[in-house]
Structure 1
Amino acid sequence: MSGEHMQIGEVAARTELSLRTIRHYEETGLVVPSARSQGGFRLYTDADVARLMVIRRMKPLGFSLEEMRGLLDATGRLDAAEEMPSEERDELLERIRGFEQAAQQRVQDLRTQLSRAEEFAATLARRLRNSPTS
């Protein structure tokens, strides 16, 4: 499908994001449609969908729009540059490494929260089982 354009409805279906959310990300500059149809409809490419998927995966981990922009900028610059000074490449890789470490920590924090929530639900279930019925 490379080079083929999709309208926003197809992008929403592929990414499981609402039209409103996709438009919001456009307004904030995180994802800009690659083209517009003659009628003014937004047109997206697979690369645009890939950007939206990165955003979709970052959101539940609590990354801010600015952090999302920073990661997308770093990965975009690495992907676009055929050659770049090694210092710049190392700096971009270090930024990405920081995001990876933050993501790992946030995943662990979510696992801890989930474990506590499961313990709470189990406690309530035990309480109900052990309650005298009227």
Structure 2
Amino acid sequence: MAVNKTSMLVLDCTDAQALAHFYAELLAGEIHIGEDPDLIEVVGGSGVRLAVRRDHGYAPPSWPRPEDALQAHLRILVGPEDLDEAEREAVSLGARPVDVDTEEGPREARLFSDPAGHSFTIAATGWTV
């Protein structure tokens, strides 16, 4: 018999409270603090779940430098008509655009780093979000 499983992306950082608030605002979600105050879960309005964990020795990822590979990133999906607004919202919350695309014109996916340096993408999707 298979064991029921679920998974969650956990992002390490120096300030778990601050990063949890960033993602809770960005994902219109709620913060859940359990027994360990250094591990905080964020549950987004559409069921997205991720967690942030305080790491006392944390060093931010150095991607997109060519010598470093993108290890993992969060992809946030929005309707095509909401892409510009989602970008403005992310930046207003403290995200930093990471412009690695040299093509001119509109892009359907936009790369950012969160306040702790993790990369994430806001991308247009054809599905109903």
TM-score bin (small chain): under 0.3
Higher helix share: 1
Higher strand share: 2
TM-score, normalised by the number of residues in structure 2: 0.27
Q: From the CA coordinates, give the structure whose radius of gyration is larger.
A: 1
TM-score, normalised by the number of residues in structure 1: 0.27
